[in-house]
Structure 1
Amino acid sequence: MSISKAEKSYIQTGLLSAPPRRQDGRSLLDFRSIALETGVVPLANGSARLLIADGTEILAATKLQVQDGPLPQLTCTVTCSPAAYPHLSPAALDDVQADLTALLNGTLSRHRPDNLTILPGKKAWALHLDIIVLADAGNVCDALFMAARAALWDTRVPRTRGVEYKARKDSGFDMQTAPPDFELADYWDDGEVLGGRDTWPVSITLNIESSVHYLDAILQEEASTPLRLLLMYSFPGPILQGMRTIGSGDLSLPQIKALLADGEKYALELMQALNAKLSEEDVRRNQKARDRFEQRY
Structure 2
Amino acid sequence: MTRNHVGSTIHPTNSRGTLHSNKYRLTIASIGEKRAHRPVFFCRDPHTGSANTEGLVADKARAAPPSLDLVLCGSPEVGMKGLSVGEKLFIQGGIAQDLRTDGRRRLNYRPISVETDVISQANGSARVRMGGTEVIATVKAELGRPNAMQPDKGKVSIFVDCSPTAEPTFEGRGGEELATELSVALERCLLGGKSGAGAGIDLSSLIVVEGKLCWDLYIEGLVVSSDGNLLDALGAAIKAALSNTGIPKVNVSAEASANEQPEVDVSDEEFLQFDTSGVPVIVTLTKVGRHYIVDATLEEESQMSSAISISVNRHGHVCGLTKRGGAGVDPSVILDMISVGKHVSEQLLNKLDSEIAAAEADEEE
Normalised-by-shorter TM-score class: 0.7 to 0.9
The residue that corresponds to 2:169 in the other structure is 87
Please state how far the C-alpha of 1:134 moved relative to its aligned partner. Answer: 0.8
1:267 aligned residue: 345
SS at match of 1:22: coil
Q: Which residue of 2 aligns with 1:45?
A: 123
Write the letter of the residue equivalent to 1:74: V
Indicate which of 118, 139, 148 corresponds to 1:62.
139
Deviation, structure 1 residue 88: 4.6
Q: Deviations over 1:175-209 (max 9, x none)?
A: 99x9931112343xx51212x42122221111222
Unpaired runs of 5+ residues, structure 1, are 166-173, 289-297
Q: Does residue 1:128 correspond to 2:210, yes or no?
A: no
The residue that corresponds to 1:282 in the other structure is: 360
TM-score normalised according to structure 2 size: 0.68
Partners of 1:162 and 1:179 within 8 A in 2:
no
Inter-partner Cα distance in structure 1 for 2:261 and 2:295 = 51
- Higher RCO structure (Cα 8 Å, ≥6 apart): 2
User: Paired residue for 2:294?
Assistant: 215
Aligned residue for 2:321?
Answer: 242
Query: Which position in structure 2 is the counterpart of 1:226?
Result: 305
Q: Which amino acid aligns with 1:81?
A: S
Cα drift, residue 238 of structure 1? 2.6
Gaps of 5+ in 2: 1-79
Q: Which has the larger radius of gyration?
A: 1
Distance between the aligned counterparts of 1:7 and 1:83, measured in 2?
25
Q: Percent identity?
A: 27
Q: TM-score, normalised by structure 1?
A: 0.83
> In the superposition, relative to structure 1, how do residues 31 and 278 fare at CA in structure 2: closer, same or farther (>3 Å)?
same
Residues 281, 312 of structure 2: 8 Å contact kept: yes
Alpha-carbon separation, structure 2, partners of 1:117 and 1:79: 28
Q: How many residues align?
A: 271
Distance change in 2, residues 1:209/1:161 (3 Å): same
Counterpart Cα distance in 2 of 1:231 and 1:107? 7
Residues 158, 259 of structure 1: CA spacing in aligned structure 2 closer, same or farther, 3 A cutoff? same
Corresponding letter in the other structure for 2:232 = D
What's the counterpart of residue 170 of structure 1? none
RMSD: 2.4
Task: Return the alpha-carbon distance in structure 2 between the equivalents of residues 124 and 175 of structure 1.
Answer: 17
CA–CA separation in structure 1 for the residues paired with 2:257 and 2:227: 61
Aligned residue runs from structure 1 range 94-105, under 5 A: 94-105=176-187
Paired residue type of 2:89: S
Please state if 1:159 is matched with 2:249. Answer: yes
Query: Partner letter of residue 191 of structure 1?
Result: F
Deviation at 1:253, TM superposition (A): 3.1
Q: Greater helix percent: which structure?
A: 1
Checking the alignment, whether the CA contact within 8 Å between 2:170 and 2:176 is kept in structure 1 is: no
Q: Tell me which residue corresponds to 1:12.
A: 92
Q: Measured at CA, do residues 221 and 179 of structure 1 come closer, stay the same or move farther in structure 2, by a change above 3 Å?
A: closer
Q: Distance in 2 between matches of 1:135 and 1:269?
A: 24
SS of alignment partner, residue 129 of structure 2: strand
* Aligned match of 1:141: 231
User: Is 2:105 the partner of 1:27?
Assistant: yes
Counterpart residue type for residue 34 of structure 1: I
**In the TM superposition, what is the alpha-carbon distance from 1:161 to its structure 2 partner?**
1.2
